[in-house]
Structure 1
Amino acid sequence: MTANEMYETSEPGAAGKRRDDDARLTACAAPGRHWFGLSGTFHTLEALFTITRWGALAWTAQAVMDRATAHETWGLVAFAVTSVLAVCAGWTAGTLADRGARAVATGLRQQLTGALLPTAGRISETGPAEAAWAMVDLADDVADFHAQAVPLRRSAPLSMVAVLAVTAAVHWPAAIVLVLTTALLPLNMRLAGLFAQHGADRQLAATRHLNAVVLDSFRGIRTLRELGAAGRRGRTLTTATERLNKATMSVLRRAFLSGMIMDVVITFSIAVNATYIGLSLLGYVHVPHAPRLTLFTGLVVLLVCPMYFAPMRARASAFHQRERAMIAAGAIRDIVKDTPAAVTRAAVPELTEPVGVSLTAVRFRYSGADHDTINVDADFAPGTWTAITGASGSGKSTLLSLIAGLRRPSAGAVRWRTLSVRQAPVLGGSAWVGQQTVLLDATVRDNIRLGRPEATEQQIRRAVDAAGLSAVIEGLPEGLNTRLGEGGWGVSTGEARRIAIARAFLRGARLWLLDEPTAHLDADSEREVVEALRRATEGCTVVIVTHSFPLAAAAHTVLAIDDGLLHDARPVNAR
């Protein structure tokens, strides 16, 4: 029975959607298919060695009964050798399957990375909680399923045929019992898949909700404490956890029920064969034309019978994992859809030339919005500072992201220009300093050269001087080798901003985009950051989004943005 047959519904298009989901899930296995194929081969060898091992054990038992010492010795040797071979084959199969799973997970994470990071003018709208969930959990869900299912698909038929053939060869009535019992299994396989998709949907929705709650809680813990809302947030977290627990228990109950029925079927088959063999050995039962049962043939049948049902048991348990993997593959598909298969990276403008910016009839509208967020015609001259002010939500940061190439305009064109180049924005061609400085749990030196790992010590020192960090570095316990805690523990907010300036300076970009670089700073720290920016951006083009008057006063031109429109350009002589 196929997976499609198990989950057919009367809903129009359900079968077609199921086929599409199957095809999508199958395609995910491509990076690890070679390893999975080898794993299936070794699983088959494990089954053959195990059959031989039980045959050797039965042979040894018969030899003990017959007092054939030579046969006992050879039987024990054969049992030991085949046991070692079976263990080795099983270990190799597991290792190969793990390697294939890593290849699948890596391939999926590479796709997600390409979709979540800005590429070719496209920026992902996926939230950080869902992105982390997809990277950490969903890729592993798909990989783990394939690591179990693909090798099983290759090895199960061969293993079952081998067991059935050996059973038929030594005593064919026992093989008939196995075949008849097999007919009961499709009903249980249907039960294994019954409502599995609904249960997996609920569980993954609850997981997604809990991930978002946890991430938002950690990210806003300081604000929650200041507002006295930590307790309420804790109750929200508890509710989300209970919801996930209920969904998980529902899935486990279904798995337990189908597993229990599978065990009943298997136990019934083994019990029938055991009873038949026992009564036959005692002389109470004899099937016409059947070969005479001996201790050897009876033990072989009893020992290999459980092996016949092992692949079916594994297949039944995989149905629930399959539903989880299919939903995971669908979620990943929704994230990576429309991602360019390959991104052609344009040449970064010459670093010796300041970069001007032209916006020609540029409009930008978010998906689902009923009006444009940006509607702009503007030119920013090379080598100048331009400050953009406006109310929160007026489109300042969106405009900056269009200039950087993080977003693609809905209409119009954004162009960078130098004396020799005129082209669309290039990701990585500009330096970005925002109001939230990302500092890694690493040394000051490693944080500064984050965007240019090959930078020399002299280049790092120049960046430190340009950002006005020399005195700060001298005051740290180990200078540039001082390790900053996660989130920048060990330096003030103003010092962290200047580390970001040094990092941007080291990049060597001649276009700087600044998004509220002095936000949340006191007057002294703001003055130090503005002075650092003046030194670091000498001869560069700078576009600043800010609410700060001192920072705006440092610009050549100040523009106001209101409902996406730029106006009130005026010269500023304060610089």
Structure 2
Amino acid sequence: MTTNEMYEKSEHDDARLTGCAAPGRHWFGLSGTLRTLETLLTIARWGALAWTAQAVLDRAAVRETRGLVAFAVTGMLAVGADWTADTLADRGARAVATGLRRQLTGALLPTAGRISETGPAEAAWAMVDLADDVADFHAQAAPLRRSAPLSMLAVLAVTAAVHWPAAIVLVLTTALLPLNMRLAGLFAQHGADRQAAATRHLNAVVLDSFRGLRTLRELGAVGRRGRTLTTAAEQLNKATMSVLRCAFLSGLVMDVVITFSIAVNATYIGLSLLGYAQVPHAPRLDLFTGLLVLLVCPMYFAPVRARAAAFHQRERATNAAGVIRDIVKDTPAQVTHRARPQSAEPVGVSLTAVRFRYGGADQDTIRADADFAPGTWTVITGVSGSGKSTLLSLIGGLRRPSAGEVRWRTSSVRREPTLGGCAWVGQRTVLLDATVRDNIRLGLPAATEQQILRAVDAAGLNAVVEGLPEGLNTRLGEGGRGVSTGEARRIAIARAFLRGARLWLLDEPTAHLDADSEREVVEALRRATDGCTVVIATHSFTPAAAADTVLTIDDGLLRAARPVNAR
């Protein structure tokens, strides 16, 4: 990468990172103003302390008392300004993090026709960690952009007014600091990139390990996966230590420069007070001026130290903003929710020369040409991993085909799949820690009691509800504690029934059920989907026996398996 390309990339990264601060900019501005006020109050506090010391030396009791009072008052005001500035910066950080999480939510959830292919590990990482990385950086850096120049100028002006040779020393040493920060930044960028990549890899390995723990145990691969986790953790540790070493070394160089500047001023002031050194045309030093210069000189470098800390954090925030941008870049600025089709007739499905290939794959996962007639049951079979769930996601609009087209059709309309326009029942039923009624109502939050009871009846839940301690008001534990797996599936069917969709997509709806429970779920589906178009991906014979048509996916190709007599 050429120097110009690196400069353009840096400018682009800066603009992207700065844009993330918009929701908290007002709070950051107020925080920066209070930081400047804190500096002025602290200068006044040290002036009061130096005044008090001079009064003690001069044995002036009245001035001594006034100096102590002024020191106490300005000290309390400075602490108040510091606390308020921190509070405002935190409020701004929360606004930034909330804004980023809203963008991520809009990108990760299937809305406005935007389908996210972001993996769950990276999605969780972006939501939990990366949004906070960006927000924390702005909470530290944004107020400094306003307060640092003004604070340093105020300290320099006071120092020059009291004793200008000391101000010259501060100016000369300041020139060395930007070079140190620039060099540190070149190393920090590389380290931050490695750390982000290692974190992403470790997140993915941990998530995959938890998901496949049972399979790993059955295959005897737990030990091997443990070694993979250890390797990924060591890579992250090395990347993190590299970043910390860079921060430590650049901080060490900065501390040497700052300490040298303060030491030069302290030595000069000490020798001047003792009468051993005197700069021509410089004002005479006394205890008040000498002590004030010594007290405010470290304040001159405080914003620089804070900027240096934020500078290292900036590289991490830049990487975080880049990952977030990659996730949300295709999301419309204003998300528009397309209306669900309200047709009273069943919705047929047409797959025309459909091909789907995952990014980076060498061959198509699915190749399909098929028509699912309105009002029919179609079962799709195939070995695990053959692409049954992928095909359902294409029909439901959760993914777009790499080639060809998927269309929903009625007697009067032919259109692309509409997100949220079909009912989906998966093999894993999500039940909240809430009542049975509330879990069913998730399908239609505004559902009336009559609609809920009709859904209960359609799903064959009447006997189940009557057997619960408080009926529909019975509270289920998180994950469905209190009902069996088959009963949980029927709650999911009742929930789907409430949506009123005329197209149902079911992914292994009878998985992990015994024969009796499987039969009850299929019967519930038959009642709930009367007159609807149903597409089921399954390994089980029971749903297949109830189907009008059975298709199979063989080596990625969807083909007819056998005809089944119509119901």
TM range (shorter): over 0.9
Deviation (angstroms), 1:332: 1.7
Deviation (angstroms), 1:421: 4.4
Which moved further from structure 2: 469-478 or 284-293?
469-478
The question of whether the paired residues in 2 share the 8 Å contact of 1:351 and 1:508 is answered with no
Matching residue within 429, 437, 447 for 2:429: 437
TM value normalised by structure 1: 0.91
Report the Cα distance in structure 2 between the residues aligned to 1:136 and 1:567, rounded to whole angstroms.
43
Report the Cα distance in structure 1 between the residues aligned to 2:359 and 2:233, rounded to whole angstroms.
32
Deviation (angstroms), 1:306: 0.8
* Aligned: 1:58 with 2:47: no
The question of whether the paired residues in 2 share the 8 Å contact of 1:560 and 1:567 is answered with yes
Q: What is residue 6 of structure 1 aligned with on the other side?
A: none
Matching residue within 243, 247, 255 for 1:263: 255
Q: What is residue 464 of structure 1 aligned with on the other side?
A: 456
Deviation (angstroms), 1:375: 4.3
* Aligned: 1:125 with 2:117: yes
Deviation (angstroms), 1:274: 1.5
Deviation (angstroms), 1:78: 2.2
Q: What is residue 384 of structure 1 aligned with on the other side?
A: 376
Q: What is residue 322 of structure 2 aligned with on the other side?
A: 330
The question of whether the paired residues in 2 share the 8 Å contact of 1:196 and 1:251 is answered with yes
Deviations 1:411-457 (A, max 9, x none): 44333334554432211111101122223344433332223333344
Report the Cα distance in structure 2 between the residues aligned to 1:267 and 1:512, rounded to whole angstroms.
72
Deviation (angstroms), 1:305: 0.7
Deviation (angstroms), 1:482: 4.5
Deviation (angstroms), 1:535: 1.6
Q: What is residue 314 of structure 1 aligned with on the other side?
A: 306
Secondary structure, aligned partner of 2:327:
helix
Which moved further from structure 2: 31-40 or 152-161?
31-40
Which moved further from structure 2: 242-251 or 507-516?
242-251
Secondary structure, aligned partner of 1:349:
coil
Are the structure 2 counterparts of residues 91 and 544 from structure 1 closer, same or farther at C-alpha, using a change threshold of 3 Å?
same
Map residues 412-451 of structure 1 onto 2, 5 A cutoff.
412-419=404-411, 421-451=413-443
Secondary structure, aligned partner of 1:415:
strand
The question of whether the paired residues in 1 share the 8 Å contact of 2:112 and 2:338 is answered with no
Matching residue within 545, 549, 554 for 1:553: 545
Deviation (angstroms), 1:168: 0.6
Report the Cα distance in structure 2 between the residues aligned to 1:213 and 1:429, rounded to whole angstroms.
34
Deviation (angstroms), 1:560: 3.6
Q: What is residue 274 of structure 1 aligned with on the other side?
A: 266
The question of whether the paired residues in 2 share the 8 Å contact of 1:440 and 1:486 is answered with yes
The question of whether the paired residues in 1 share the 8 Å contact of 2:380 and 2:552 is answered with yes
Matching residue within 209, 223, 236 for 2:228: 236
Report the Cα distance in structure 1 between the residues aligned to 2:295 and 2:239, rounded to whole angstroms.
39
Partner amino acid for 2:312? H
Aligned length: 567
Which moved further from structure 2: 359-368 or 316-325?
359-368
Q: What is residue 355 of structure 1 aligned with on the other side?
A: 347
Q: What is residue 216 of structure 1 aligned with on the other side?
A: 208
Deviation (angstroms), 1:513: 0.8
* Aligned: 1:296 with 2:282: no
Partner amino acid for 2:267? T
Matching residue within 196, 200, 203 for 2:188: 196
Are the structure 2 counterparts of residues 480 and 265 from structure 1 closer, same or farther at C-alpha, using a change threshold of 3 Å?
farther
Deviation (angstroms), 1:571: 4.9
* Aligned: 1:205 with 2:185: no
Deviations 1:275-313 (A, max 9, x none): 222222222222221112122111211111111000111
Matching residue within 135, 139, 158 for 1:143: 135
The alignment-based identity, stated in percent, is 86
Deviation (angstroms), 1:400: 1.8
Secondary structure, aligned partner of 1:126:
coil
How much is the aligned-residue C-alpha RMSD, in angstroms? 2.5
* Aligned: 1:454 with 2:446: yes
Deviation (angstroms), 1:100: 1.6
Deviation (angstroms), 1:181: 1.8
Are the structure 2 counterparts of residues 370 and 296 from structure 1 closer, same or farther at C-alpha, using a change threshold of 3 Å?
same
Deviation (angstroms), 1:94: 1.2
TM value normalised by structure 2: 0.93
Matching residue within 32, 39, 45 for 1:47: 39
Are the structure 2 counterparts of residues 12 and 299 from structure 1 closer, same or farther at C-alpha, using a change threshold of 3 Å?
closer
* Aligned: 1:134 with 2:126: yes
Q: What is residue 358 of structure 2 aligned with on the other side?
A: 366
Q: What is residue 275 of structure 2 aligned with on the other side?
A: 283
Are the structure 2 counterparts of residues 537 and 22 from structure 1 closer, same or farther at C-alpha, using a change threshold of 3 Å?
same
Are the structure 2 counterparts of residues 374 and 555 from structure 1 closer, same or farther at C-alpha, using a change threshold of 3 Å?
same
Report the Cα distance in structure 2 between the residues aligned to 1:570 and 1:233, rounded to whole angstroms.
42
For structure 1, the 5+ residue unaligned runs are 1-8
Deviation (angstroms), 1:159: 0.3
Matching residue within 30, 35, 38 for 2:30: 38
Are the structure 2 counterparts of residues 366 and 235 from structure 1 closer, same or farther at C-alpha, using a change threshold of 3 Å?
closer
Map residues 173-184 of structure 1 onto 2, 5 A cutoff.
173-184=165-176
* Aligned: 1:342 with 2:340: no
Deviation (angstroms), 1:51: 1.0
Report the Cα distance in structure 1 between the residues aligned to 2:389 and 2:526, rounded to whole angstroms.
21
Map residues 396-411 of structure 1 onto 2, 5 A cutoff.
396-411=388-403
Report the Cα distance in structure 2 between the residues aligned to 1:553 and 1:35, rounded to whole angstroms.
64
Deviation (angstroms), 1:518: 1.3
Report the Cα distance in structure 2 between the residues aligned to 1:181 and 1:207, rounded to whole angstroms.
38
Q: What is residue 253 of structure 1 aligned with on the other side?
A: 245
Report the Cα distance in structure 1 between the residues aligned to 2:360 and 2:172, rounded to whole angstroms.
59
Deviations 1:142-186 (A, max 9, x none): 111111111111110000000000011111111111112212323
Deviation (angstroms), 1:225: 3.2
Matching residue within 52, 56, 60 for 1:68: 60
Report the Cα distance in structure 2 between the residues aligned to 1:570 and 1:225, rounded to whole angstroms.
37
Report the Cα distance in structure 2 between the residues aligned to 1:144 and 1:288, rounded to whole angstroms.
48
4+ aligned runs moved over 6 Å, structure 1: none
Report the Cα distance in structure 2 between the residues aligned to 1:292 and 1:550, rounded to whole angstroms.
101
Partner amino acid for 1:540? C
Secondary structure, aligned partner of 1:290:
coil
Report the Cα distance in structure 2 between the residues aligned to 1:61 and 1:212, rounded to whole angstroms.
62
The question of whether the paired residues in 1 share the 8 Å contact of 2:431 and 2:439 is answered with yes
Q: What is residue 178 of structure 2 aligned with on the other side?
A: 186
Report the Cα distance in structure 2 between the residues aligned to 1:253 and 1:377, rounded to whole angstroms.
58
Are the structure 2 counterparts of residues 472 and 224 from structure 1 closer, same or farther at C-alpha, using a change threshold of 3 Å?
farther
Report the Cα distance in structure 1 between the residues aligned to 2:467 and 2:217, rounded to whole angstroms.
32
Deviations 1:388-411 (A, max 9, x none): 333444443233222211122334
The question of whether the paired residues in 1 share the 8 Å contact of 2:106 and 2:335 is answered with no
Secondary structure, aligned partner of 1:386:
strand
Report the Cα distance in structure 2 between the residues aligned to 1:475 and 1:224, rounded to whole angstroms.
39
Deviation (angstroms), 1:327: 1.3
Q: What is residue 102 of structure 1 aligned with on the other side?
A: 94
Which moved further from structure 2: 440-449 or 561-570?
561-570
Are the structure 2 counterparts of residues 528 and 459 from structure 1 closer, same or farther at C-alpha, using a change threshold of 3 Å?
same
Report the Cα distance in structure 1 between the residues aligned to 2:522 and 2:491, rounded to whole angstroms.
13
Q: What is residue 91 of structure 1 aligned with on the other side?
A: 83
